[in-house]
């Protein structure tokens, strides 16, 4: 590997003529690359960052942060924003007594102000084997050199086809950056059948380096067991937080949905990015094909032309199921496929969250 391949996104100054942040954090954002894992460059795409620079990620329910941030806090504080009056009880600070109300009503009332705090965000990233899919890698029969379907639609900047995990990692990196930029704490949790790696939330910008490094070195493997992971995560999270799940959700639907409901009941603000590859959605193949499951290894012979309609129906049902449950449980649900450009996905997401 050449030295150029070790460069982090921040070092690509040439690509970021107007982005001062990149120049400032170049040394911080340089991740260490594990030689045994696929190289992921540009986890933070400057173009995407440029587009979302003016947007902030907001949460639906008040946060319990210790630091001052942009989110409403569950604590009442000393900010200038008046919230309500409360009858004085012993223990209340005398300085918050509203003397004007006392003068009018001869009763002691204290003023309550809303506090703004920072947010603890947990990015839960699926790194199971199914996330490895980056397009059809055909294994042609002997003597057949005319494989026409090629996966060159979406590629990484280094020419490698972009996998679902690549896309998810970019999304996670971008969201981390956004959150850290607004003084929020961000933690990362990668999982397959169990939690693979847990990085607790931190709010300093240097923490982005840790996250990027983990994203860089993560290797997709194993099967998905989201219910188990959600259980584990709920034990780890103290208090309310923002939980962003980025996964293809290729697991037992009912079990996943059940656990999502449970998780939501703990007052977490849950956002699901349901990520599928465009091939999974559209089944664009023509030839008779042996499909081999990336997680299960099972094989199935099918004529894509013939099953396409039925397949798409199945996928639609699968997605709709998640969509419905999310709606019912106030889970913010986003379906994305890898053909969607990341900037539009993130922009759309942040723009939508702005109204909370």
Rounded to 5 degrees, φ, ψ at 15 are: -80, -10
Rounded to 5 degrees, φ, ψ at 34 are: -75, 125
**133 contacts other proteins (rule: CB under 8 A):** yes
**171 contacts other proteins (rule: CB under 8 A):** no
**316 contacts other proteins (rule: CB under 8 A):** yes
Instruction: Return the number of the residue (45 or 126) whose C-beta is nearest other proteins.
Output: 126
**126 contacts other proteins (rule: CB under 8 A):** no
**307 contacts other proteins (rule: CB under 8 A):** yes
Count of residues touching other proteins (by CB under 8 A): 59
**238 contacts other proteins (rule: CB under 8 A):** no
Residue 68 and residue 63: Cα distance in Å, rounded?
Answer: 11
Pair type for strands 269-276 and 242-247? parallel
Which residue in 250, 256, 271, 331 binds other proteins (CB under 8 A)? 250
Alpha carbons within 13 A on the beta-carbon side of 13: 6
Which residue in 35, 139, 145, 152 binds other proteins (CB under 8 A)? 139
CB 162 within 8 A of CB 102: no
Tokens 């956002």 correspond to 271
**136 contacts other proteins (rule: CB under 8 A):** yes
Instruction: Return the number of the residue (114 or 248) whose C-beta is nearest other proteins.
Output: 248
Residue 334 and residue 332: Cα distance in Å, rounded?
Answer: 7
**164 contacts other proteins (rule: CB under 8 A):** yes
**328 contacts other proteins (rule: CB under 8 A):** no
* Choices 100-108, 196-204, 230-238, 315-323 (CB under 8 A): range interacting with other proteins: 315-323
Which residue in 94, 152, 298, 355 binds other proteins (CB under 8 A)? 298
What burial letters (b/e) apply to 158-183, b meaning 16+ CB within 10 Å?
eeebbbbbbbbbbbbbbbbbbbbbbb
Which residue in 27, 105, 204, 314 binds other proteins (CB under 8 A)? 314
Instruction: Return the number of the residue (46 or 304) whose C-beta is nearest other proteins.
Output: 304
Q: Which of 81, 83, 55, 77 is nearest to 64 (CA)?
A: 77
The answer for residues whose C-beta is within 8 angstroms of residue 34's C-beta and 6 or more apart is 216, 217
Alpha carbon 235 to its chain's center:
20
**181 contacts other proteins (rule: CB under 8 A):** no
Question: Which residues in this chain contact other proteins in the complex, by CB under 8 A?
Answer: 130-131, 133, 136-141, 144, 147, 164, 248, 250, 276-282, 285-296, 298-303, 305-316, 318-320, 323, 335, 337, 348, 352
């Amino acid at each position: 590997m050449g030295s150029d391949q070790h460069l982090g996104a921040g070092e690509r100054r040439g690509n970021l003529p107007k982005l001062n942040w990149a120049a400032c954090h170049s040394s911080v954002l340089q991740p260490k690359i594990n030689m045994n894992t696929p190289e992921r460059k540009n986890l933070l795409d400057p173009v995407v960052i440029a587009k979302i620079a003016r947007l902030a990620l907001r949460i639906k329910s008040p946060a319990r942060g210790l630091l001052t941030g942009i989110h409403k806090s569950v604590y009442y504080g000393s900010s200038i924003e008046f919230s309500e009056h409360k009858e004085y009880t012993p223990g209340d600070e005398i300085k918050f007594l509203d003397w004007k109300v006392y003068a009018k009503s001869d009763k002691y009332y204290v003023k309550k102000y809303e506090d703004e705090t920072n947010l603890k965000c947990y990015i839960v990233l699926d790194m199971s084997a199914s996330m490895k899919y980056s397009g059809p890698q055909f294994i042609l029969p002997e003597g057949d050199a005319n494989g026409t379907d090629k996966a060159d639609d979406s590629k990484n900047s280094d020419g490698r086809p972009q996998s679902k995990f690549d896309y998810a990692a970019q999304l996670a990196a971008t969201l981390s950056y956004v959150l850290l930029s607004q003084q929020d704490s961000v933690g990362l949790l990668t999982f397959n059948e169990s939690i693979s790696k847990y990085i607790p939330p931190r709010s300093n910008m240097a923490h982005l380096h840790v996250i990027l490094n983990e994203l860089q070195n993560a290797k997709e493997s194993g099967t998905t067991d989201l219910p188990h992971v959600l259980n584990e995560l709920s034990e780890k999270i103290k208090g309310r937080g923002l939980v962003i799940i980025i996964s293809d959700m290729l697991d037992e639907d009912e079990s996943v949905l059940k656990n999502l409901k449970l998780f939501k009941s703990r007052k977490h603000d849950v956002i699901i990015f349901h990520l599928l590859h465009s091939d999974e959605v559209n089944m664009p193949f023509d030839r008779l094909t042996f499909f081999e499951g990336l997680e299960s290894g099972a094989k199935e012979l099918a004529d894509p032309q013939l099953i396409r309609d039925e397949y798409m129906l199945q996928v639609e049902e699968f997605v709709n199921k998640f969509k419905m449950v999310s709606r019912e449980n106030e889970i913010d649900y986003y379906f994305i496929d890898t053909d969607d450009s990341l900037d539009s996905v993130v922009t759309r997401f942040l723009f939508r969250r702005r109204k909370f």
